[in-house]
Structures are given as C-alpha cells and as structure tokens.
Structure 1
Amino acid sequence: MTNQKYRVFFVILSKWIFWGTIVGLVIGTTTAFLLSTNDYLGEIREKNNWLVYFLPIGGLLIGYLYMNYGKKDGNNIAEGNNLIIDAVNGKARVLRRMGFLVYLGTFVTIIFGGSTGREGAAIQMGGSISETLNQFFKSHILDKKILLMSGISAGFGAAFGTPISGAVFGMEMTSVGKIKFEAFVPCLVSSFVGHYVTVHAWGVEHKEKLFVKHIPDLSPILFLKVIVLAIIFSLVAVLYCQLRHEIQKRSEKIFKENHMKRAFVGGLLVIALTWMVGTQDYNGRSLPMLEQAFTESVPPFAFLAKLIFTAVTLGMGFVGGEAIPLFFIGATLGNALSEIFHLPLSFIAPLGMVAVFCGGANTPIAAFLLAVELFDGKGVEYFFIACLISYICSGHHGLWPSQTLYPPKSRLYSVVESETIKNIEKNKF
C-alpha cells in the first residue's frame, strides 16, 4: 500500500513537471516575441511622434477585432485578466484566440502611443496556451485550473525576468488572501522554464536598469516613514483602480458596449491629453522617465499624469498590461516625496514602485519577491513592510474586479467572505 502511494505521488509529480516544462517552453517563446516586438515598436514610436495621431484608428481596429472575434458562449476576451481569473475559478472559459488578439491589440496600442504595459499580454497568452493544451488533452477540471495558473506564472516570470515572483504570482493572483498551493510545482517549473527560454534560448534582455544604490540605516523613524509612505502608495493605487474602472463602466454605458466607438474616442482623449501636457513622456511604456526616477528629479506630478493617461487608455478599450504603468506611478510618486521624507531617490523610488503595484494587484508575497529579485535582495525588511501595509490599506479594491476575497483583509472591512471585488464594490456603493 505504501509503495502504491509513492508510485502515485511520483506519477503526479512527473506529470506536473512535464506540463510545467511544456507550458514554460511555449510561453517563454511567445513572451520573447512579445518583448522584442514591444521594444522595436516602442523605439519606432519614440522616433516618430506623429504616430500618436493614428491612435484613434488603432482603436477602431482593436474594437473591430474584439467585437467580431472576441466573444463566444458568453466569454469575452475584452475582460482581459478578469477572464483568466474567472476561468481559474471555474466561472468562465478562456478562448484559444485570446493570445493572438491580445498580442495584436498590445502592439497596436504601443506603436500609436497608448499608455500601457506588457505583462497583461503575457499573462493572457499564457492562459490561451494553457487552454489550448487543456482542450487538446481533455484535461480533468482540476487540472485545467492548475494549468491555467502555470500559464499565468510563466507569462509573468518571463515578462519581467523574475521567475520566483512569477511562480507565486500565478498562485496568488486569482484570489485575495488565499494561495492555491496545489499548483506550486507546475507554476514553479513553468515560470523558471519560461524565464530561461526567454533570456537564454532567445537572448532577450530585460532592459530596465533599476538599482537600489543606498539603503538608509535601520531606525524606528525610518520604519515609521516607510509605513506612512506605504499608506500613501496604497491610496494612489486605489485611485488608479477606481478611475480606470469608472472610465470603463461609464464609457461602456455611453457607447452601449460598442468597442469600436469607445476606443476611437479614447484615442482622441489620449491625443488631447498629450497636447495638454506638451510631451509624449507619458505615452507608451514611459521607460526613460521610470529609470530617471531612480537617479534624478522628475516632474512632481508625473505620477498623476501617467495615472490619468493609463486609466483613459485601458478604460476606453485599448489593450496592454498595468504593471509597468503602476511601476512608473509608484517610482515617480516616490521621487516627488523624496525631499519631504528626506530619503534617497534610489531607495524611495523602488519602494513606491513595488508598493503601488502591490496595492493594485493584491499580491503581497509576489510583490515582495519581485522586489527581492529586481533589487538583488537589498532592503528586504522595508519592502516587506511596504508590501504588507499597502496590501492591507488598499482595502477591497484592485486591478481585477474578478478577484475573490478569502477572507477579508482585516476586521476593519465589513465585507462578505468569498465575494468578488466587483460585487463588494457594487453592494457598498
């Protein structure tokens, strides 16, 4: 009997190592294509500022594709990461064409100057590939969910070059306050394999040069400053999430869910915003200013400009990720607060970058591990506190309304357990 148990254990372990490897190989390759193409298109746009005037036309194209090819059996690709989360929780099914459409939509958004990131495309491609494997091999319902989580992990780990945080992100993203450890092995394997394939097999480099050069000495005053900063960062994350969701909700109502009209007007709004600020620093991924925030002063309201640009871009129907915009918002906000809190830029900017992302994504462990990997393990005690405080203070808000709370983050929040963020906000307001 004991030998039979060990045999079953090793069979299951081997199965998940095999599937995690397959998922990592495929998604590592597709993510390498995503990163290389995004960099190429981003460079083209930066050299040709006039391309931003074609953003409304790009919106029409994205809207046409999503309206005509993005819906099937009640599943809508336009829901993005929310569809992936619902699929993991057994409430929806990922469409196999999702990966292709989100890649195309992301490329269109990037080259014409929409304010967006890339991890959303990587995660959704991961879900699309995992669903393709699920259907081809007719996986068991529980295996389907685990494969989808491994796809999320591979996409995130490969997109940022952070395989450890990627592994945890796939397990942590789908539910708030509950990590699905049953997916640990395939998530870990797929994230590491995806990262290895992207960087070593295809030679794609992660170009963001972000460093923590100086960590202040430990002191009670410094910990108090970090706590206060984390609260501020969490509130800004909530502001972004609420503005982005409100723009989406109202624009869908105004245009009667006509994705083409919505995105066309959204493109016009982004052009108007670009005219107002007089620069294209907030179009696209805005990587130069993100890097600058770690070493020298940036405009004090840069975080607010990027927040509005991204909320309008994604809220009006364009496609892309939200992690890099949140990194930008947090880093530039930290930069603006540096003199007030008397902290070095290379410390407060990364603190804000990770804390704002954590407050929006509701993934404190993955966000903390992201900081450890990105910044070579420096200042881990501060990043840990910042992530924890930001996670708690962001309350029942977040980037993805489909996330379910298990249990509420604190007794201070009078919300129902096992309820989605979307329903909690609807009932509250």
Structure 2
Amino acid sequence: MRATFRNLFDDLNVAAFVRNRHGHAVSVLRWALILVPMAATVGTLCAAFLWSLDAVTRVRFAAPWLLYLLPVGGFAVGLLYHLSGRSVEGGNNLIVEQIHEPGGGVPLRMAPLIFFGTVVTHLFGGSAGREGTAVQLGGSIASGFGRALKLDAENTQVLLMTGIAAGFGAVFGTPIAGAVFALEVLAIGRVEYRALVPCLVAALVGDWTCLAWGIHHGVYRIDAVVPVDALLVAKAGIAGVAFGLVGLAFAEANHALGGWLKRIVPYGPLRPVIGGVAVIALVYLVGTRDYLGLGTLAATPGGLTIFSFFGPDTHPWSWALKLLFTVVTLSSGFKGGEVTPLFFIGAALGNALAPMFGVPTGVFAAIGFVALFAGAANTPLACTFMGIELFGAAYAVPIAVACFVAYLCSGHTGIYLSQRVAVPKVPGGGLAPNATLRDARTDRAARRRTRP
C-alpha cells in the first residue's frame, strides 16, 4: 500500500510542485524585502522634492526679482555638473542605457545633483518639469540598493525598472501608469513584462509613501459631460495627429537646440547662462510670466496654469509659448524634466482645438494632457492608464485612441534618445535591429546630407 501511494505521489509530481511553490515564495519574499524599503526611500525623496518645488515656487512668486538671477543659478548648476556630475549628465537616458546594457551602474550622486539642480531651476523661474528628477532619484537609489546587495546584472536591470516606477508613480500620484511607464519606456513596440509585478509593487509603495508624508497631487475635473460615441472617438483620433506632431516638434526642437548650443558653447556652465538670458528676454517679449516653472501654480489669480485649460475659456497659442519656454530652458542645460510641461502643452493644445471640433474644452484638454506625452515619450499604454487614473474611466476610449494615434504620428523620435526601436512604427524604415532613437536621428541626418 505504501509503495502504491509513493508511486501515485511521484506520478502527480507533487514534490516538484511543492519545491517550485516554495522557491517561488522565497523569491517573492526576497524581492519584497528589497522593493519595499527601496520604494519607500524613493517615495520619501519624492515627497521632499515635491514639497521643495512648491516652496521655492511660492518664494519666486513673493520675490519676482529672482527671475533676473536665472543665469546665475544656471551657471551654478552647470558648474556643479561640470565639476562632479559628468558621469550622470545623461540623466534619464543613462538609466535606460544601464537597463539595456548594465555597465558601471547609476552613480548614487545623481540623486542629490538632480534634486539640487531642479530646485534651483524652479527657484529662479526656468520652465521645466519634475518627472526627470523623480526617475533619476528612483534609478539612483535603486542602483545603490543593487550594489549594496551585490545583485547580478539581470536582477539589477529589474531593480532599475522598479526605481523608475517608484519615482514616476510617487511624483504624479499615478502608480499604475508609473508601473507601465517603467515597462514601456525602454523600447518602442515592446513591453518588459518580466518586471510587471515588481514595478507595480514599487509604484504603489512609492505613491503611498509620498502620500503618507502629506503630499497632495492636483485634481483635474472635466465638468462637461458628452456622450462617448463614434463621432467623439473619431474627433479624438484626428486630434491625436496634432498631439503626435507637436510632441515630435517638442522632442526634435529640444535635441536640435541642445546639440547646437553644445557645438557653439563647448564650456558646459555657460550654456544655462545663455538659456537664462533667453528666458528673461522671452518673458519681456510675451509680457507674462505664466509660462515659467511647472505650470501648476500661478503668481496671480488670473494667471494661466494647467487647470485653466479645463475651464470654458479658450487660449489659442499658450501651447506654443510653453513649448518655446521649455525648449529654451531644458536644451540650455537646466535640470528638471519634460513631462509636466508636456502636460501643460497638451492640455493647452486640446483647449485650443476643442472649439474647432465642437467639443467642450475640458474634454479635449484632458485628452491632450496625456496624448501629447504619449507621442513625445512613445508610451501610449502608460499614458492611457494615466488618463484613466487622473480623469476616470468615462473617457477611456477617446483617451486611448488619441494616445495611440499620437504615438504613431510622432515617428521614430522622442524625448528619450536611449529608447530602442524593438518594433518599428512603420515597416521598411531602414533601421538596424534594436537601434536607439539617437541612432535613428543620426541616420536621418546622414540621409539629408547625402540627398541631392
């Protein structure tokens, strides 16, 4: 009888099943012990960062003369990076590169450098965002944890992805979008599902930690109610073309102006000085300071913010002015990120397009908010989830359509040049397998030079 049960036990392979489940449980526990403290650390730093941005923005509002010190602040940040931050100058692109091809890792000093550089940028009025800082905080801390725990290359790659998810989820309050962004941003046309659960855990812990410190995120409301029918979806798809093209223009202008400044001004600390002077000149040219900073707070009650574009008033050219201010700021070497300005540009463009399509401004502002980012960052899935997390599921279909159309229309370009093209958007593009967006830009430039 005992032999019969033993044979049955072997046939069912219960022992192997138990061993596999035990190994899986140990792996889950091990990753939890790594991810929770890492993501909590990132969430805490993001909370301190968001509090600092709010504080320095209010200081700038109270002391408008600080704008005239923008070139001085830019020189200070540029000099700091020139002396001690050359190895982290790549920013988000460095993190993406380390995930693709692990090498020297992400230096831990990236975290304090980008924190300080972004706060200085906003104190003096540069038009920049916060996503770049959050991602770099997350990548730097995750890399530090990986080195301390002596993780192998494969596990370090996963940990870096979770660092991105924790930072993104914490700084925007959108953990699902943060997790998907970390999986999707690495390569066009491919999602890294191997890190799906770790990224979701990290994004949730990062967001919860940030909230536990008393940080609150902006709440955007779509006051108008329109039926989600085939006509609205078609309009969203057509508008998605505009969002994609403007996202493409933003990325290309940023790279082109940045490259030009590096050629004519080899000494790094001088480039933000020039950019600071240009931003001051733009303020006087357009006659307003509404396009400085993040765009989430206004110095005066009637000033423009992202929230303004969800109201009934139309602002036809605000998207173009914010694009100009942001490109000048970031391409000259100021620190921060592109995403919050892209939210501003997208919401403003949606606001401007809404009357042409006969749609309430709030609806198209919400769609543009995420769709333009989807085109510029090549992350349509993450941006669709972000739209649902921020605005609810009622407009999920037009949001998704606009995000995917914008993604297709932005071409093989984007704000992150280290992204790889795993699956080309259009066949026959002539790109080498797994070419980066930087390679794609170089290839396009070479073809233009050889064109008769």
Q: In which range does the TM-score fall when normalised by the shorter chain? A: over 0.9
Question: Which position in structure 2 is the counterpart of 1:245?
Answer: 255
1:416·1:424 contact (CA, 8 Å) conserved in 2? no
- Match among 71, 83, 92 for residue 56 of structure 1: 71
Amino acid at match of 2:418: S
1: CA distance between counterparts of 2:210 and 2:434? 37
Task: After the TM superposition, list the runs of 4 or more consecutive aligned residues in structure 1 that deviate by more than 6 angstroms.
Answer: none
1: CA distance between counterparts of 2:270 and 2:215? 37
Encode CA deviations 1:49-87: one digit per residue, 9 max, x unaligned.
21110000011111111011113xxxx312111111111
Question: Which position in structure 2 is the counterpart of 1:254?
Answer: 264
- Match among 153, 156, 168 for residue 168 of structure 2: 156
Q: CA deviation at 1:215?
A: 3.9
2: CA distance between counterparts of 1:296 and 1:18? 49
Amino acid at match of 1:395: G
Query: Mind listing any 5+ residue stretches in structure 2 that lack a counterpart?
Result: 1-15, 298-304, 446-452
1: CA distance between counterparts of 2:272 and 2:78? 6
Question: Which position in structure 1 is the counterpart of 2:8?
Answer: none
Secondary structure of the residue that 2:162 maps to in structure 1?
A: helix
Question: Which position in structure 2 is the counterpart of 1:325?
Answer: 341
Q: CA deviation at 1:168?
A: 1.1
Amino acid at match of 2:232: L
1: CA distance between counterparts of 2:384 and 2:364? 15
Matched, 1:37 2:52: yes
Question: Which position in structure 2 is the counterpart of 1:417?
Answer: 433
1:327·1:356 contact (CA, 8 Å) conserved in 2? yes
Encode CA deviations 1:190-239: one digit per residue, 9 max, x unaligned.
1101111110x211111x23112234223333222111100001000000
Change in CA separation of 1:410 and 1:283 when aligned onto 2, cut-off 3 Å: same
Question: Which position in structure 2 is the counterpart of 1:358?
Answer: 374
Change in CA separation of 1:299 and 1:213 when aligned onto 2, cut-off 3 Å: closer
Q: CA deviation at 1:409?
A: 1.8
Aligned residues: 422
Encode CA deviations 1:330-384: one digit per residue, 9 max, x unaligned.
1111111121111101101011111101001111111000001001222001111
Amino acid at match of 2:44: T
Matched, 1:147 2:159: yes
Question: Which position in structure 2 is the counterpart of 1:9?
Answer: 24
1:330·1:352 contact (CA, 8 Å) conserved in 2? yes
Counterparts of 1:22-421 in structure 2, within 5 Å, are 22-71=37-86, 76-90=87-101, 92=103, 93-199=105-211, 201-206=212-217, 208-256=218-266, 258-288=267-297, 289-411=305-427, 413-421=429-437
Larger Rg: 2
Q: CA deviation at 1:297?
A: 2.1
Secondary structure of the residue that 2:269 maps to in structure 1?
A: helix
Q: CA deviation at 1:296?
A: 3.1
Encode CA deviations 1:92-141: one digit per residue, 9 max, x unaligned.
53111001000000000001000011111111000110111111111111
Q: CA deviation at 1:327?
A: 0.4
Q: CA deviation at 1:416?
A: 3.2
Q: CA deviation at 1:298?
A: 4.7
2: CA distance between counterparts of 1:349 and 1:339? 11
Q: What RMSD over aligned residues (CA atoms) do the two structures have, in Å?
A: 1.3
Q: CA deviation at 1:417?
A: 3.1
2: CA distance between counterparts of 1:89 and 1:173? 11
2: CA distance between counterparts of 1:292 and 1:5? 55
2: CA distance between counterparts of 1:78 and 1:37? 22
Q: CA deviation at 1:12?
A: 1.5
Q: Percent identity?
A: 37
1:292·1:298 contact (CA, 8 Å) conserved in 2? no
Question: Which position in structure 1 is the counterpart of 2:301?
Answer: none
Secondary structure of the residue that 1:259 maps to in structure 2?
A: coil
Query: Mind listing any 5+ residue stretches in structure 1 that lack a counterpart?
Result: none
Amino acid at match of 2:190: K
Q: CA deviation at 1:412?
A: 6.5
Amino acid at match of 2:142: S
1: CA distance between counterparts of 2:315 and 2:388? 28
Secondary structure of the residue that 2:392 maps to in structure 1?
A: coil
